[in-house]
Amino acid sequence: MVRALLLLLCAMAWAHDAAAPAESANVLILTDANFEETLQKHEYVLVKFYAPWCGHCKHLAPEYAKAADALQEQGSKTALANLDATVEKATAAKFNIRGYPTLILFKNGQEQEKYSGARTAEAIAAFMQEKAGEKKGDL
């Protein structure tokens, strides 16, 4: 019985880790409580609305983190952010999020457009640099 419980706990811990997006200190973490304030602090923010169980979200996470790191290293005035739409339901509902991942560009806190480009670090960084009028850098 104890062994079964330990196995269950280990499996739950592994599942939790596998569900978490690849992390970078340069990807902002948004909540219902800090969403508006955070978007006002940055002129351009690309928000990834995701679900922890979503396979496409898990696949995108390392590319998204790499793009955020590259933008930061290049001194970009843009920011990339994550919002767990399964937890932060009020904000997800406000933007009518129905599929995962959904990436939306905000400028000065206002929704501009959904991102529909390639899901690579290079494409995401280039999109953000173009929107901000910045010189595109190499990743």
At 6, the amino acid letter reads L
Q: With beta carbons less than 8 A apart as the criterion, state whether 63 and 119 touch.
A: yes
Q: With beta carbons less than 8 A apart as the criterion, state whether 124 and 67 touch.
A: yes
For the annotated catalytic residues, the residue numbers are 54-57
| Strand ranges inside 5-116, DSSP E | 27-30, 44-50, 78-84, 102-107, 110-114
The length of the chain, given as a count of residues? 139
Torsion, CA 81, CA 84, CA 89, CA 91, rounded to 10: 0
Q: Which phi and psi (to 5°) does residue 135 adopt? A: -70, 135
